[in-house]
Every structure is written in structure tokens, then in C-alpha cells.
Chain A
Amino acid sequence: MSTTNHLIRNARILGGEPQDIRITEGVIAEIGANLEARDGEQEIAADGLIALPGLVDLHTHLREPGREDAETVLTGTKAAAKGGFTAVHAMANTFPVADTAGVVEQVWRLGRESGYCDVQPIGAVTVGLEGKQLAELGAMADSAAQVRVFSDDGKCVDDAVIMRRALEYVKAFGGVVAQHAQEPRLTEGAQMNEGVVSGELGLAGWPAVAEESIIARDVLLAAHVGSRLHVCHLSTAGSVEIIRWAKSKGWDVTAEVTPHHLLLTDELVRSYDAVYKVNPPLRTEADVLALREALADGTIDIVATDHAPHPAEDKQCEWAAAAMGMVGLETALSVVQSAMVDTGLMGWAEVAERMSAKPAAISGVPGHGRPVSVGEPANLVLFDDQYRGAVNPDSFATRSRNTPYRGMALPGRVVATFLRGEAKVLDGELV
């Protein structure tokens, strides 16, 4: 299909001075003041809007195949586009598990067909996420999906030997293992952060040490075998300290934090509303502040949503029976503005780094995370950081409504998203 050419007027690239951006044939053709409109160009007034490179999510649950009642690749990528994402990485814990070339290619193909954003499948580390036997990592890497990120997310690769071998094996094709750090014995039946609140509420605790002990082991393993390690969703101050130490040693370790762990605490669990049930669990105020500081100083490399859609019946029930996870694609940038930008911890250039450039670099997904400059693919998001409004889940594109931000006033709104020059979102609505 032919691509509409666009001329974006007065956008503030990374929050800088207003400039015009000309998009021609899917590429950023020109940046400057008062560019002259050309025939056939659609002009977009972006006065006051922030222009960022299209966001890249390294941690998305699209649920297809298997749980199409919660999300499909189509609805998930629509949600991604509305949230300003131009590429998402689909986690492997589907039914069947994405542990073969066949399943990752299916997800990859569904992403191509959806067209709202690029879908890069993540492959399982072990067969069936069971932690026992390595999945055919090489076959997934060589498939059309070109898998480079492997994760048993939802489950921890807790066997030290399996983890060691996985870290070593993926070096053959430049892969990276993304670990869900959760020591299983310390978290049997765990329902929420182990702390003052869990003690009062009588909910089985999920100690910080269950996360930190695995991270400590894994950074040592990665150093020992000279491999790359990515740690999913850091949630504790102690995890930050371990990552900081590993980086100080020069080890090849990266880490992510979710938007919700930057904003919410376990005090919310007092409601017993399972919309706040998530893995890893919401932690304390001190943890939230440590995570923000670590994201600002680069100890934590990226923000990843861990978008985890669930149908209503899996959340409107007893806490212990409820599923873990929250949707997050459509609120991520607003939460980051609230937690990091409006607090003065980061500017928009750092937001672009942590939500676009760095996640793309970790996964190697081509054409994403590039700077907003001439000659680059026109993957762009226009964001209104002045907008103020309450979160209304009924307006979401995701199939699920399990957002912890319902009714909450969050700053900012994605106005437009461009994927290789094609507008996927305009005026805040899907095109």
C-alpha cells in the first residue's frame, strides 16, 4: 500500500524547541523550522506536543495463542499503538507455550497481519516453561521470527545448571536470557509482598529475598560464563543494589522496571481488590523510591510494561483465587511522566532512552529505538504532556480491563503514533 506522507508541525522533539518533521515514504526526510508543505502531504498540528521515538516494550503478554478471551495479538497491538508503542515483545507463556519455531512464527505472523505495531516474539527458555529441559532455542533464533530474547517469564528458571546452560547457549546467536527472578520455595502460595501489610492482612508473604537471591545468583553466573543477562521487572531496593554492584564490575547485565512498580505500593492491597495482585508484587514506598532513583541514574536500563491482560472473572474474586497481572500498555507513558518526569527525576530524552532506544538495543529488534533524525525510520509518537484526565478503562483497546489506575488522574496522553510513517493513532484514536 502507498504510505501517506506527513508534515508534523511544531513538535518538541524530546521536549526541545518546536520544529517541523517531514515524513516521506516512511522515513524522516527533513527536520526544521517552517518547512514548506508539499503536495499530498497531510499536515499535523503538533503545537506543544512532545515527539518521541516509537516506544519499544520488551515485556508484553499478548495471550494469543490460547487465551484469546483475555487478549489477541490484534487487540494487544492496538493497545500498544494507543500507548505510543511501535514494537512489542510477546512473552512466551501462551497456550501452547512459545517454545518451538512453529509457535513463535505464528505469533510473529499474527503481528504482521495486525499491522498496528511490530511484534517480536520471545521464546521460552525451557520446554513448557517447566525449567527442566532447554527448548530449541536455536530453531527459534533461526526461524522467520528471528528470536533473540528468551524467557520463561511467569516462572523462574530456578535450576542453576539450566540457567547456566541457557546463558551460555544463546551466545551462539547473540541471544539474551530474560529472567523472572522468583525463588519458588520461598514463594510457595505467596500472595503479596511480605511486609507489615501482609502480616496484618493475613496474606502469605512474598519476601524480597526471593527475588534478590535469584538475581544475585544470576549475575554471578552471567559473569562466570561471560554471557548477557536481562532481569525482568525489578521490584525491590535490594535488587537495585545487586544490579548496581554487577554493573560496577562491568558485567553485561541489564534490568527493567514496570510502570506500576514505579507508582504503586502494597498499601493498596488493604482493599483486597485483586486488580492490585501482580507478580512480582507491589512493594513498599521505600522500594518505589529506590526503583525511581535507579531508573534515573541508569542502574535500571528500561521501563517494560509487563502488560498482563486477564478477563474480569479472574479478577472479581477472592484475592487468593485471582490471577496475577495488570494491563499497562495504554497507561505506561503517563505513569512514567507522573513518576519520573513530573518529579524532576528524568527529562524526555531519558524517557526516550529508557522506553525506546535501550529496549530495542537489548533485543536487537531492527528499525526501532532509533533517534528522531533525518534518514531514520519514521517510528514516532506525539505526546501531550499537558493533558490531565482520569483513566477510563472503557476507552481501552485491550480486551481486558484489569488496570490499577481506573479513575486515577494521570498526566499526559498519546495523541499520535506513526509506524514507518503510517499513522496508527491520530487525535488519540486508532486510525
Chain B
Amino acid sequence: MKRHLISTADLTREDALLILDTAEQMAQVSARSVKKLPTLRGRTIVNLFFEDSTRTRTSFEVAEKRLSADVINFSAKGSSVSKGESLKDTALTLQAMGADAVVIRHGASGAPKLLADSDWLHGSVVNAGDGTHEHPTQALLDAFTMRRHLNPGVGHDLAGRRVTIVGDVLHSRVARSNVHLLHTLGAEVTLVAPPTLMPFGVETWPCQTSYDLDAALNKADAVMMLRVQRERMNAAFFPTQREYTRRYGLDARRLALMPEHALVMHPGPMVRGMEIESDIADSARAVIVEQVANGVSVRMAVLYLLLGGSEPAITTSSSEETGK
């Protein structure tokens, strides 16, 4: 396993499967009454959040605590660009305090890579979302959720499964991380967005693209809706919220176009009524809440593996049944 997790493009198929398989073990811990492992006792993990994200930070925090790590939440919102302490000085401070790992969320694309490549700190760096670049643990939890439903089993990948990702791909770090990871795991990805919200050069990505959502639904095994911020229409990415919803929102009619088994996914936070109809978000087809639960298991696996876990996370004696 590598020392940092910056981009899903850095993960080999073996790396990715090791994380997903380890996450399955971690999920068992979360199902117990005492949801705790001693594995990272004495290790210090800093959650360095330059952007508000209660969801992601809480998920990491729960994961860290379940591994018995010492957790420090370092909220540095607003101090990133041009005023206040620099990223470098923050990193030097954390290094001096002996951080074994830094989980960083930053509004600027590339900030986690900058930290990982610098000599400012020596611990592991985990990208918890950087600008419009990547959000690798989100992609891992998405893949974990898909595997459980579409090809369950330790060591299994997503070969041949079809995933349609819909929405503001241009500004989505979730989409970028998912395209890399799902491709590595053998899935076929189709990105759907209005042309204004497709990234430049997307034709070179390992996926298909379409401007027509209806046409991308009938063979999908999973449909992932991305959040679309209303402010985007002020920059002329689309005319109105109503038109966006009509052309790219997931409603009952479109749900009926999807195969029976196909999953409805959303990385959150959702804008109900914009990209997804409220009833569908709450329907049995949606695995959105499950994604959140799986996030904890996946983040436990990532931290465990990065911080030197070479043995199985759960020893045979404490494990009921791991391998299938």
C-alpha cells in the first residue's frame, strides 16, 4: 500500500480491492455493540479542513475513533488563500506536533498533493476532497456500495457493470475520482451532463459521455446523481433550475427507464427537487444512506492500510468469518 491517498488514479486494481476487502472487515466492527478496534492506538490523526464539510469530517472522525486513534480536528477555514497562516506553516505545525496522518479537505485543487510532495510533514496524507479535482474516499465508498449490490464478495471487482454519473461533472471531484476507480475495477462509466458542464478534454477520459440522460439509463446498473449548485445558472451553465431538472433530473419517469436492479446513488449533499426528485431519494432503490454508512468502513480501511497495517485488520481469533 502506498503512503498517501491523493488520487484514485494512483490505485492499482490490487490496491483498490485490498481497500474494499479491508473495508468489509471493518464493516463487521461497525456491526458490533462495541464498535472499536485497538489498531491505531497511540497514533495521531489530524483532520485538517479548510472547507466546511460536516459530513466528510464526521465520517473520518468516526472511522479514526473506531480505530482508537487520537483525533485532532483542525478547522482552518478561511486561512488558506492569501490571509492568515499559510498551508506550509500549518503543515510544519502539525509535523512538530507529531501527526501520523493528515486528512485534508481544501478548496484549492492540488493542495493534498502539495502537502504529500513537500518535506513540510512526514506523515500520510489523505485527500478528503480538493477543489474540483478529486475525492478518493468518496469514490471508494461508492465502489464498495456498488460491489455489495452488484457483485458481492471479497476479491470481486465491478467488471462489466455499467455506471451512469449525471450532473455537474465539470466541478465535481466525485466524478473525477469515480471515473478513475471504476475504470480500474472494470466498470463501464458513462458521464451525462449538459455540454457546458462537461470538462474540457473529457473525450480522453476512460469513459463514455452523453448529453442525453434518457438514453443512458436503460442499461445502467447504477445511476449516480451529482449535486448541482443553483448558482451555476448565474454563470450561464444552464438557463434555469426548471430546465435543468427537466433535462437532467432523476424523476419517476426516468426511474422507470432503469433496470429493476439498478441502484440510485448520490454522494450528498442532495438538492432535492433539483437533480433528484424527493420521493426517489427516499425510495427503496436509493442506497444513499447506505453510502454514508459504508463511508465509515472505507475510511477505516484506508487509514488502517496507510498507517502500516500489514496484518489483517481483524485477527482470526476476534473474527467470526471474514473470507468468502
Contact for B80 among A199, A203, A204, A321, CB less than 8 A: A321
Q: How far is the CB of A179 from chain B (nearest CB, A)?
A: 25
When the two chains form their complex, are residues B109 and A321 in contact, meaning their CB atoms are under 8 A apart? no
Contacts of A197 in B (CB 8 A): 201
Within 8 A of A (CB), among B262-308: none
Contacts of B199 in A (CB 8 A): 199-200
Contacts of A199 in B (CB 8 A): 199-202, 205
Q: In this complex, which of A198, A201, A203 has the most chain B Cβ atoms within 10 angstroms of its Cβ?
A: A201
When the two chains form their complex, are residues A200 and B110 in contact, meaning their CB atoms are under 8 A apart? no
When the two chains form their complex, are residues B109 and A196 in contact, meaning their CB atoms are under 8 A apart? no
When the two chains form their complex, are residues B201 and A195 in contact, meaning their CB atoms are under 8 A apart? yes
A4 on the B face (CB < 8 A):
no
Interface string of B196-210 (1 = CB under 8 A from A): 000111101100000
When the two chains form their complex, are residues B201 and A271 in contact, meaning their CB atoms are under 8 A apart? no
When the two chains form their complex, are residues B133 and A318 in contact, meaning their CB atoms are under 8 A apart? no
Within 8 A of B (CB), among A169-226: 191, 194-205
Interface size in chain B (residues, C-beta < 8 A): 28
How far, in angstroms, from A197 to B176 measured CA to CA in the complex?
13
When the two chains form their complex, are residues A198 and B200 in contact, meaning their CB atoms are under 8 A apart? yes
Within 8 A of A (CB), among B204-259: 204-205
Q: Given the known A-B contacts A200-B176, A201-B133, A202-B109, are A318 and B200 also in contact in the complex, defined by CB atoms under 8 Å?
A: no
How far, in angstroms, from A202 to B180 measured CA to CA in the complex?
14
Q: In this complex, which of B107, B109, B131, B201 has the most chain A Cβ atoms within 10 angstroms of its Cβ?
A: B109
B95 on the A face (CB < 8 A):
no
A343 on the B face (CB < 8 A):
no
Q: Which of B38-46, B57-65, B81-89, B144-152 is the interface stretch?
A: B81-89
A320 on the B face (CB < 8 A):
yes
Contact for B109 among A194, A201, A271, A316, CB less than 8 A: A201
A319 on the B face (CB < 8 A):
yes
Q: Given the known A-B contacts A196-B200, A200-B201, A202-B132, are A272 and B110 also in contact in the complex, defined by CB atoms under 8 Å?
A: yes
How far, in angstroms, from A179 to B107 measured CA to CA in the complex?
33
Contacts of A271 in B (CB 8 A): 113, 117
B111 on the A face (CB < 8 A):
yes
Q: How far is the CB of B319 from chain A (nearest CB, A)?
A: 39
Interface positions of A (Cβ within 8 A of B): 191, 194-205, 271-273, 313, 316-321
Interface positions of B (Cβ within 8 A of A): 80-82, 86-88, 106-111, 113-114, 117, 130-134, 173, 176, 199-202, 204-205
Report 28 cross-chain contacts, Cβ distance below 8 Å, ordered by A residue.
A194-B200, A195-B201, A197-B201, A198-B200, A198-B201, A199-B205, A201-B110, A201-B133, A202-B133, A202-B173, A202-B176, A203-B132, A203-B133, A204-B132, A272-B109, A272-B110, A316-B86, A316-B88, A317-B114, A318-B80, A318-B87, A318-B111, A318-B114, A319-B109, A320-B107, A320-B109, A320-B131, A321-B81
